[in-house]
Structure 1
Amino acid sequence: MGNVLFSILWLLILIFIGFWVASFAAGLYILIIPFTVCIEPLTGLTDFLLSVIQFPRYCAQAMMEGKGFN
């Protein structure tokens, strides 16, 4: 296991930032995804929102590995 201090910081980021940002992005994603059929340039936006939705997974993985902020 990596540094315990970084694991605690990643846990705090996950709880106070990660879940909130991902849930907001998920709402936008759900609203915009049907329009990508008609408006092709929205595909880039939905791809970005999907990566933001996966931010809590990144936080949890960094927390388990004790990664720094590099």
Structure 2
Amino acid sequence: MGNVLFSIIWLIILIFIAFWVAGIAAGIYIIVLPFTVCIEALSGLADFLLSVVQFPKYCAQAMMEGRGFN
């Protein structure tokens, strides 16, 4: 088990930052994704938005492991 203090910090980040940022990114991702078929240059943006949508999962994993920020 990792550090409990880091777990609490990751929980705060998850609730107050990650959910909100991922929600906004998900909306943009849904709009951009169909256009990647026509405009190949948008595929990099779509990949980045997908990784932002997965940010809450990263926070939850770090919280469960008590991982630091390095």
| TM-score over 0.5 (shorter chain) | yes
Q: What is the match of residue 34 of structure 2?
A: 34
Deviation at 1:48, TM superposition (A): 0.3
- Post-superposition Cα deviations, 1:45-66, rounded to whole Å, max 9, x if no partner, equal 0000000000000000000000
- How many residues are matched? 70
Code of the aligned partner of 2:40: E
Deviation at 1:10, TM superposition (A): 0.1
Q: What is the rounded CA distance, in whole Å, between the counterparts of 2:18 and 2:39 in structure 1?
A: 29
- Post-superposition Cα deviations, 1:5-40, rounded to whole Å, max 9, x if no partner, equal 000000000000000000000000000101011100
Q: What is the match of residue 15 of structure 1?
A: 15
Code of the aligned partner of 1:19: F
Q: CA RMSD in A?
A: 0.3
Deviation at 1:67, TM superposition (A): 0.3
Identical residues among aligned pairs (%): 79
Give the gaps of 5 or more residues in structure 2: none
Q: What is the rounded CA distance, in whole Å, between the counterparts of 1:42 and 1:24 in structure 2?
A: 17
